[in-house]
Structure formats: C-alpha cells, structure tokens
Amino acid sequence: MTELLDPESNIIEAPFGDALADRYLVYALSTITARSLPDVRDGLKPVHRRLLWAMRLLKLDPGQGYKKCARVVGDVIGKYHPHGDVAVYDAMVRLAQDFSLRYPLVDGQGNFGNIDGDNAAAYRYTEARLTQVALDLMAGLDEDATDFRPTYNGEDEEPEVMPGLFPNLLANGASGIAVGMATSIPPHNAAELIDAAVLLIDQPAAELDQLLEHVKGPDFPTGALIVDSPASIREAYATGRGSFRVRARFAGHEDPATGKWVVEPEKLSGGTWQLVITEIPYGVQKGKLIEQIAQLIADKKLPILEDVRDESDEAIRIVIVPKSRNVEPEVLVESLYRLTELETRFSLNLNVLDAERTPRVMSLKDVLTQWLTHQIGVLLRRSRHRLAKIDDRLELLGGYLIAYLNLDRVIEIIRTEDEPKAVMMEEFQLTDRQAEAILNMRLRSLRRLEEMEIRKERDDLAKEREGLVALIDSPARQRTRLKRDLAVLRERYGFETVLGARRTRIEEASATREIPLEAMIEKEPITVVVSAKGWARAMKGHLDLSDPEAFKFKEGDGPAFAFHAQTTDKILIAADNGRFYTVGADKLPGGRGFGEPLRLLVDIEGDATIATVLPARPEMRVLLASSDGRGFIAVNEELLAETRKGRQVVTFKKGARLHSIRPIAATDDHLALIGENRKLLIVPVGEIPVMARGQGVALQKYRDGGLSDVLPFRFADGLSWTMGGKEGRTRTETDLANWLGSRAQVGRLPPMGFPRNNRFD
C-alpha cells in the first residue's frame, strides 16, 4: 500500500530528448490519421464521418424534417468526437455550402455563410438534414458493409469507413495540414470519375492517358476556367502533385472555331462598355476580391480601371468599368488577372490514407484503383450479409410449410401438450427457431393464400441465393455487378442533371503577360510645354507650336521646349551634368495654369540646368555632344531611367558640360558641327560610336572655345540654316565637298551668309 501511494514509484528515468520524441511521434501520428488526412475509400476525415453518422442516427434523411444544428453538434461531441463545438460546427457548415463542396453532403436551412466570406449563424439558429449524396455515401451501413469500432468512451459504435458507392474523395476534394505533411485535392465531376472507374473495371491495366479522356480536370463548384496545358494536367495526375491555374470567367461566348471562351464586353449607350465577371476562382471570397480590385483603383495601380460594382444576387455579377471606351478590353482583363485573385493557383497534393491507414501520395489511377478495390470488398460483404439473411428466412419458411402440411396435427399438439415446442421439434424434425416461429404464428396466417405466398417467397429467395453464391464465387460477376451499380449512380449525377453538369471549363491559355505601363494609360494627344525656368505642363490636343499666343508663362519666364506627344509616351529630361531623367507623359500636370517645376517630378541636382526635353521613341538614336566637342550616339533604351534620381549617361573632362542632344533620323547620314571659332566640319554618322555611357570620342577639335552647334542631316539634301529676318527664310547649301572630313578635324569657315551666332536654327 505504501508503494502505491509513493509518487516516486511511478517515475521512469529516460533521456528528455527520447521521451519528447516518443510523445511527439504519437501526437504526429494522431494528427495525420485521425484529423487531417482523408481516407482514400470514402474521402472523409473522422469529424465529417462522425457528423454524417450522427445525423443518420437522428433520422435526418432528405425526406424528413430539419433539426437544429445544435442537436447534431451536441450528439457528435458527446458521443463520437470529443473536441470543441466550434470546430465541429465549422466542419458541418462546410459540408452544407454549395460553393465549398461540389456535391454538398448536408442540406442546410438558415444562414450557412456565403461566398462573400460572411460566417454562418450560430448553431442554435440553423437547421440541417442529409442530402441524397450523403445517403449514397452511407449506403450499406445496415448490411455489414464495413467494420464498426467502439467510440472514444466505449459506450457506442461508429463506422470505420463509409461504404457507399459515391466517389467522394475526388468528387468533393479535401484539404488539410498535418504534422510534416499536407493534402490538397480539388473537386471533380462525379460522372467523369464514374466513367473512368468503369474503364478501370474493364481494363485494369489502362494507362493514365486513357483515364484522362474521361477525367478532364477539376470541376469546381464555383465554375471558372482552368487554363493549364494538357501536359501540365497530365503530369499533376501522374505524380499526385502539381497545381492548376484557375481564372475567373467573364461574360462572353464560346468561339465556334477554336472552342475557347471569348470575353464579350457589355455594350452601353454612347459607345461605352463594361465587363461582367460571372464566375470566380474556387476558394476566393467575393467580398475580399472586390476590395482588392477597389484598392487597385484607390492606389492608382491600374489607371485604365474606373470602378468596380457588385451586382450579385444568387448568381455572381461583378461589373468592371473601364476608364474610357478607348481602353482595350483584352489589356484590362489581362491586367486584372495579373494583379488580383481573379487568377489563382490551386495545388494538387493527393496525400491520403490508404486501406491500411498509411499516408501516401497517389496518382489518379492509384486513387481510383484503391477505391474500386474497396467497393468490391463492400459488394462481397453486402452479398454475404444478404446471403445470411436469406438462409435465415429460408429456415423459417421451411418450418412454416411443414406446419401447413401437418396443420391438424400441429394444432392438436399445441392444444394438448404441455410443452408443444419440444414435441413438434422431435416429431417434425424442426429447429428451435422454426418451432418458435410456428408457435408465434397468428390464426389469420393459417389461410390457404398465405401458404401460396410462402411457397412463392421461398422460390424467389432460393433463386436470389443462387445468384449471390455465384456472385461471391466469380470475380467477373462482381465486376459486372459493380458496373451495373455505377451505371445507376451515373444516371443520378450525369452531365444532363443540374447537379452533375460540368461547371469548370478547361482550355489552354498562355501565361499572364506583363502589360506595359503605357498600355494601362488612356492614349490621348497632348502638347508638352517646358518654360525657360523649368516649369512643365501637358496641354490637351496637338496645339499649333508656331502660335505664341497659345502658351502663357509667368512674368519673367518664357518658352524653352514644346512638342507634340501622347499620354502614353515617356518624356526624357536631360541635364547639362550628363544625367537623364524619365517622366511619364500622363504624370505631367495639366494645361491649366503654368504647370509645375520639373524638379518636383525628378531629383535634378541643384547646380545642374535642363539641357533639353524630348519624347522618347522606341527606335530613337540620339547624338550626345559635350561643350568640348566630344560625343557619342546613344539608343533610347540606354537613356530611360527607372528612378527619380535619373541615370548618368555622359561623363566629362574637367570644365565640360552636356551641350547638345540631337535625335538622329533613320535617313540622317552625316553630322554638321560648328565651333565657337566659326569652323564648320561635316563628318559621316558612321564614324560616331554607339555607347551606353562615357565621354565619347572627339567630334571636332578647337584651338579656342568649344562646340557651338551640331545638326544631323541627309547629305544628299544639302545643309540648311535659317537666314533670320521677319520672313524666316532658309538657305540650303548643296555643294559641301569643301567641309566634308573625318571626325576630330578642325574644319573650315562656313559658306557665305552663315548666321553670325553659329547656329543652324
């Protein structure tokens, strides 16, 4: 007695690490097998199985009335599943949501949540009953089709697995996170699964490609589009691991030529239009999705999007309003796919418990094969159970017929003997059950008609027994019977039914492409004006650049640069320190007022001045010349800057600055250079190197001063310059042989009449 009361007598000495590992392993295995992973045979986790079993015992069949969910949850946690009521109710709610399960197992009445992400009402307010799908999944529980085990407290029993023929694992899918492993199985179409199962019954060695002729891919309850390639889908099903790219479906139509879904904008008055989303990816909450799109508008991350509205009732209708009717619908759709959860990836991880309760990652064929093996076992158990019932009934029927054949003697024995049961058993060779049944017969059963019915029942049962014996002894008959049962199920969930019709379209699409920023901007003509003091503005339309009255400036300021552009253009700003800056034309202030200083848009250094402002063009080449006569050609891509601090393109020798930035047209083949010393030199463009950054090469040499001006031109057209005066006449010199030379030469005095300011314009 003293030893029992001594607490130290129960202490086991062991290394702490070993003790912790042993206990954690027990916890991990419990999480894997009894909580997180579904069984390959019925696709259920224990909590779901116990919910359905408890509802069945409460007789909540589809034809019966509803009962409070609180009653169901109470039975489940009290008898079968000793966990929290919230977890059990959440599991029950999911089984009732038609946007969560492809084939709901619970028929809910009341608020069971919605696709917006709103939670279900408390279980005291909601009611539920089973669906026909749940009955199909549990068919055979009364026919010894599966083993039962004691509940956690030993007071009741619960089924180890549901025996029904409905392919729940793949039809409804599953997800769960265990210790060190997880599972993620998307829903599929039951009719397709049944067709693939029938193929496997006929051809057990069928290849995966043959199965995929029936199982096209996941079939989500929310519809949408799967846009992966057939090779990607095949790889996922072959290995049991992969993912599916799921896109929302916009209102549209199927292209009869390609069979692909074509987005069709909804036409409005005045030539405007809008897009309508009718289906969203599985697992995406509609409310959060709309918030996400609205946030894009608020953050101005999608300038071509004006508004988003939720006009949904029972059907989803999300309206997408573009900024203007000039926006390309394809660009807007692609942008939404890239920036929001209108395109997601649903992972496939076919990690399930096999028939031995061992976690395994299976291929599609493995899952269907193990499920069919389970169904053959269920068929045999139900057949043997029925055979035992028939033998039991035939025994009683045999006793009844003996009683009818010796009716007078049986009545005499019952009336005269003190122990009629023993006398009848000895005289007519009856079993105990037969004698007991005869004694319990009612007087009305002694009529002649009853004897005829018993004989007919005996003959029918004998024939059924013969068929069952043949079925149990013949694998071929078992396969035929299973195919017949599957055909009946196929009619209930066929494509022509409301519940069985495929909802998710599968069509290959290219990866979501990166949309250029300019494609997200409404393209409109503008006139960019920059003043001498660096104030910039973008005026709507292409204005007359020669009209001085079209532009107004602050007192003491005046024009410096003006050119036509589009709102989708990039504007290059070159400072005389050799740094280039980039501003989107749509970011320039509007034409009202005098604009804003460019230094507010980019970080131009304080001692630098703006050398030029011009629109960037994709194939543009620009001559960059410094004040000391050095330079090189740069292409457009090397001038664009990604940050406010700009990009250093030109470097200089001491005292030099960036002097001239001249775009070179495709037809320009020569450069005309004029120095402050009034020496003119013409050199071929081909002698000037194309560089990304640096000082460049010597363009022209000077004894005194530096570069005054440079002009790219076409040699065959001659060299032109402005004569000045009110008429603004120009002069063209075509005989330029005297000034033609190589780069780095000095040159000669220009032709007579060349402007005294040494400028070509």
Residues 6+ apart with CB under 8 A from 373: 355
H/E run at residue 537 = strand 535-540
3-state secondary structure 252-303: EEECCCCCCEEECCEECHHHCEEEEEEECCCCCCHHHHHHHHHHHHHCCCCC
Candidates 162, 119, 157; CA nearest to 137 is 162
The answer, yes or no, to whether residue 2 has pLDDT greater than 70, is no
Integer Cα distance of 262 and 253 in angstroms: 5
| pLDDT (average), residues 467-487 | 95
pLDDT at 300: 79
The answer, yes or no, to whether residue 89 has pLDDT greater than 90, is yes
| pLDDT (average), residues 603-629 | 91
The answer, yes or no, to whether residue 713 has pLDDT greater than 50, is yes
pLDDT at 520: 65
Long-range contacts of 57-64 (CB under 8 A, 24+ apart): 60/128, 60/129, 60/130, 61/129, 61/130, 61/135, 62/107, 62/129, 62/130, 62/131, 62/132, 62/135, 64/129
Phi, psi of 288 (to 5 degrees): -70, -30
Long-range contacts of 749-755 (CB under 8 A, 24+ apart): 749/678, 749/679, 749/680, 750/674, 750/678, 750/680, 753/723, 754/674, 754/680, 754/721, 755/721, 755/722, 755/723, 755/724
pLDDT at 517: 59
Of 663 and 510, which is predicted with more confidence?
663
Of 319 and 438, which is predicted with more confidence?
319
Candidates 166, 168, 214; CA nearest to 486 is 166
Q: Per DSSP, what are the bridge partners of residue 244?
A: 346
Mean per-residue pLDDT of the chain: 90
Instruction: Return the structure tokens found at 593.
Output: 């007022």
Contact 169, 355 (CB under 8 A): no
pLDDT at 240: 95
The answer, yes or no, to whether residue 471 has pLDDT greater than 60, is yes
pLDDT at 167: 96
pLDDT at 558: 87
pLDDT at 39: 92
| pLDDT (average), residues 750-754 | 86
The answer, yes or no, to whether residue 4 has pLDDT greater than 60, is no
The answer, yes or no, to whether residue 454 has pLDDT greater than 90, is no
Cα angle 730, 735, 737 (rounded to 5 degrees) comes to 130
Integer Cα distance of 242 and 218 in angstroms: 12
Whether the model clears a pTM of 0.85, i.e. scores above it, the answer is: no
pLDDT at 453: 86
pLDDT at 699: 93
| pLDDT (average), residues 670-679 | 93
pLDDT at 515: 63
Length of the chain: 761
**DSSP string covering 105-126:** SEEEES----TTSPPPPPTTT-
pLDDT at 449: 59
* Greatest mean pLDDT range, 47-61, 536-550, 703-717: 47-61
User: 694 in the Ramachandran plot: left (φ > 0), alpha (ψ -120 to 50) or beta?
Assistant: left
User: 347 in the Ramachandran plot: left (φ > 0), alpha (ψ -120 to 50) or beta?
Assistant: beta
| pLDDT (average), residues 27-53 | 85
Q: Does the annotation mark 125 as catalytic?
A: yes
Instruction: Return the structure tokens found at 584.
Output: 């989107």
Contact 698, 629 (CB under 8 A): yes
Residue 749 per-residue DSSP state: P
| pLDDT (average), residues 32-43 | 84
| pLDDT (average), residues 475-494 | 95
| pLDDT (average), residues 225-247 | 95
Integer Cα distance of 729 and 761 in angstroms: 11
Cα angle 39, 381, 400 (rounded to 5 degrees) comes to 150
The answer, yes or no, to whether residue 728 has pLDDT greater than 90, is no
pLDDT at 199: 96
| pLDDT (average), residues 420-444 | 87
Q: Report pLDDT digits (tens) over 554-565.
A: 888 888 899 999
With bands split at pLDDT 50, 70 and 90, how would you rate the model's confidence at 1? very low
Strand 505-506 versus strand 225-226 pairing type: parallel
Catalytic residue among 125, 152, 337, 404: 125
pLDDT at 513: 65
Neighbours of 63 (CB within 10 A): 9
| pLDDT (average), residues 539-551 | 82
pLDDT at 31: 67
CA 308 from centre of chain: 20
| pLDDT (average), residues 342-350 | 95
pLDDT at 12: 77
pLDDT at 176: 87
Candidates 186, 256, 178; CA nearest to 217 is 186
Strand, coil or helix: 321: strand
Of 109 and 725, which is predicted with more confidence?
109
The answer, yes or no, to whether residue 277 has pLDDT greater than 90, is yes
pLDDT at 158: 95
| pLDDT (average), residues 654-668 | 91
